[in-house]
Structure 1
Amino acid sequence: MKKISGEVRQWRLHRQIGRTFAELARAINPIVRGWMQYYGAFYRTALLPLLERINSYLMRWIRKKFKRLRTFKKAHACWRRITRQYPRLFAHWAWVPTFW
């Protein structure tokens, strides 16, 4: 888990404000899906905190990209809207609840 967590941190999702949400999904989905298939088959509950952490990194990305969403309340409303409109955009959303 330390190795996978380090790789997720190296992605620096919150710094990639030049990308769209769909581009981020295209970039990380194959990697996350592979982790889910491999590690999830053996120890799914250990993988869930990592997948939730990816959600928090995506939330931070939203807050950095859009100035009007810097407050947590507005960013949270945007997060709920995105997860309702595109429930399968990210591969890990199948396992992790996307609402907060």
Structure 2
Amino acid sequence: MSATVRSWRLHLRVNSTEADLARMINPVVRGWMAYYGAFYRHGLHPLPHRISTYLLRWIMNKYKRLSNWKKATRAMRDAVARHPRYFAHWALAKPAVR
């Protein structure tokens, strides 16, 4: 799973909107959640953190005013508060923000 997430190269898709990213990754993540959630729940543990890290890097690359971790994590926290079901992996665990 993590190799697949890495191959998406989310952090480099600065021309995409968050809706484009959600449309791209949500069906795959929901499938993983359905399968691994039933048969190998422990295998899902690193998934939300990995995807959230790539989304934070995407935020930092797309929005130059959010180019440090503190501002990017605050923006991610605000996005989760506004739209808690926007990305499928947020149902597993909310992004860890400092």
Same fold (TM over 0.5): yes
Give the corresponding residue for 1:24: 21
- Normalising by structure 2, we get a TM-score of 0.93
Contact 1:83 1:99 in 2 (8 A): no
Which among 20, 37, 50 is matched to residue 40 of structure 1? 37
Q: Structure 2: which amino acid aligns with 1:18?
A: N
Contact 2:49 2:96 in 1 (8 A): no
Aligned identity (percent) is 54
Q: Distance in 2 between matches of 1:84 and 1:45?
A: 26
Give the corresponding residue for 2:2: 5
Give the corresponding residue for 2:72: 75
Q: Distance in 2 between matches of 1:7 and 1:72?
A: 24
Query: Secondary structure in 2 aligned to 1:97?
Result: coil
Aligned residues: 97
Instruction: Compare the two structures and name the one with the higher helix fraction.
Output: 1
Runs of 4+ in 1 over 2 A off after TM superposition: none
Which among 90, 94, 97 is matched to residue 97 of structure 1? 94
- Structure 1 gaps of 5+ residues are none
- Structure 2 gaps of 5+ residues are none
Q: Distance in 2 between matches of 1:87 and 1:32?
A: 15
